C-alpha cells in the first residue's frame, strides 16, 4: 500500500483540477469510483495515495455523494471523470517536483500545463 504524506500535502494551495477553484478547500481526494477496490480500497481503508485528485470541497462532495443512489451509468461517468482528474493531478505532482522519474532529464512537466479535454475546462483554456 502506497502511503505518502508528501503526496497528500502537495494539494495545499493548489487549484481544483476539476473546476479551477482556489478557495482554500482543495485537498488530495482519494478515488471513490467503481474500481477503487482494485486500487487498495477496502473497509476502513482508502486506495493508494497515488490515486488522488486535487479537489475543492464542492467537487469532492460531488464525487463522494455520487456513490449513493446514483444510476449505474452516472457512477460509470463520474468514475471515469475522477480517473482523468487523478491523471491531471499526477502530471501536476511531476511539475511540482513531488514525483520524479529517475533517469529522465526533462521529465518535469510545466507547472501550469493543462491536459486538453478536462471535463470542466472552459473554452479557450
Q: What is the mean pLDDT of residues 96-114?
A: 71
Arithmetic mean of pLDDT over the chain: 82
For residue 56, the enclosing domain spans: 5-96
Q: What is the mean pLDDT of residues 50-55?
A: 95
In a domain, 106, yes or no: no
47 is a domain residue: yes
Of the chain, the end-to-end C-alpha distance in Å amounts to: 36
Give the DSSP H or E segment for 52: strand 52-55
> What pLDDT is recorded for position 75?
85
Q: How many domains does the chain have?
A: 1
Residue 40 lies in a domain: yes
Residue 31 domain-assigned (yes or no): yes
Would 109 be classed as within a structural domain? no
| Domain annotation covers residue 110 | no
Q: Is residue 22 part of a domain?
A: yes
Quick check: is 34 in a domain? yes
Amino acid at each position: 500500500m502506497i502511503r505518502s504524506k508528501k503526496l497528500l500535502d502537495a494539494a495545499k494551495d493548489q487549484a481544483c483540477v476539476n473546476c479551477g477553484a482556489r478557495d482554500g478547500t482543495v485537498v488530495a481526494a482519494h478515488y471513490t469510483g467503481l474500481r477503487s477496490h482494485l486500487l487498495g480500497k477496502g473497509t476502513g481503508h482508502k486506495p493508494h495515495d497515488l490515486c488522488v485528485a486535487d479537489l475543492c470541497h464542492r467537487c469532492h462532495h460531488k464525487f463522494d455523494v455520487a456513490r449513493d443512489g446514483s444510476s449505474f451509468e452516472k457512477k460509470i461517468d463520474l468514475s471515469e471523470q475522477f480517473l482523468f482528474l487523478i491523471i491531471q493531478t499526477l502530471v501536476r505532482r511531476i511539475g511540482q517536483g513531488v514525483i520524479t522519474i529517475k533517469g529522465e532529464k526533462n521529465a518535469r512537466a510545466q507547472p501550469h500545463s493543462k491536459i486538453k479535454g478536462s471535463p470542466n475546462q472552459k473554452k479557450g483554456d
